Amino acid sequence: MSKIIYAHDRLGAPLKGVKLIFAHDTEVALAAAAALVNTGAQAEEELPDVESLDAFVAGWGWTGSRRHTRAELDAVRALRPRLRRIWDEDADGAVTIVNTLLRDGQALPQLVKHDEWDYHLHATSPEAPLADRMAVEAAMALVDVIRTGELDRLRVCAADDCDDVLIDLSKNRSRRFCERGCGNRANVAAYRARRRG
């Protein structure tokens, strides 16, 4: 699994001296969207049952209502290929998908305060189905990516045997590998090749 970042970590104190590419909540939402896509990117299904979905939801700090049903799981799994397609699209294609996600999820941006968190943006009600809330949160974050012309930060892992997606949030746009250790594996392989050479 990728590194756990809490979705509502968005509302903690901003890191001093760290220049974000997007707003913190947007960056967390993008990471969560990539992590969701990647649960379906490997040979083994990483959301095989309701328990694995519970763990994913807890790990990313999703709040709001849950059904804990097979139908809820199926809806979340069905969202993955819709999101995944955005990585293959140009701006016009990505806009079509994002606008459809916003429309289907009946997105209505509202500032809210809940639990220990100060005002932040929700665009769905806490009672909306989990998959709809996930879809709209991802779409809202992608709105920022597209309108700032940063869609090329959406990448697929450079390792030959890995189909994970990633969002390069580095300042110098240098990120090429996913968070499953593909970068380390590539470094080791390059080191061995140098020694052999």
Are residues 83 and 37 in contact, defined by beta-carbon separation less than 8 angstroms? yes
Of the pair 19, 43, the CB lying nearest Zn ion is at 43
36 binds Zn ion (CB under 5 A): no
25 binds Zn ion (CB under 5 A): no
Are residues 94 and 142 in contact, defined by beta-carbon separation less than 8 angstroms? yes
Distance in angstroms (rounded) separating the CA atoms of residues 85 and 165: 11
Burial readout 87-96 (b: 16 or more C-beta within 10 A, e: otherwise): beeeeeebbe
Of the pair 92, 161, the CB lying nearest Zn ion is at 161
Beta carbon of residue 48, minimum distance to Zn ion (angstroms, whole number): 20
Judged by CB under 5 A, the number of residues near Zn ion is 7
Of the pair 32, 157, the CB lying nearest Zn ion is at 157
Beta carbon of residue 185, minimum distance to Zn ion (angstroms, whole number): 8
Of the pair 13, 196, the CB lying nearest Zn ion is at 13
143 binds Zn ion (CB under 5 A): no
Are residues 154 and 147 in contact, defined by beta-carbon separation less than 8 angstroms? no
Are residues 27 and 21 in contact, defined by beta-carbon separation less than 8 angstroms? yes
Beta carbon of residue 4, minimum distance to Zn ion (angstroms, whole number): 17
Under rule CB under 5 A, which residues in 156-195 are in contact with Zn ion? 157, 159, 162, 164, 178, 180, 182
Conformational region of residue 174, where left means phi above 0, alpha means psi within -120 to 50, and beta covers everything else: alpha
Are residues 56 and 36 in contact, defined by beta-carbon separation less than 8 angstroms? yes
Of the pair 98, 157, the CB lying nearest Zn ion is at 157
Contacting residues toward Zn ion, per CB under 5 A: 157, 159, 162, 164, 178, 180, 182
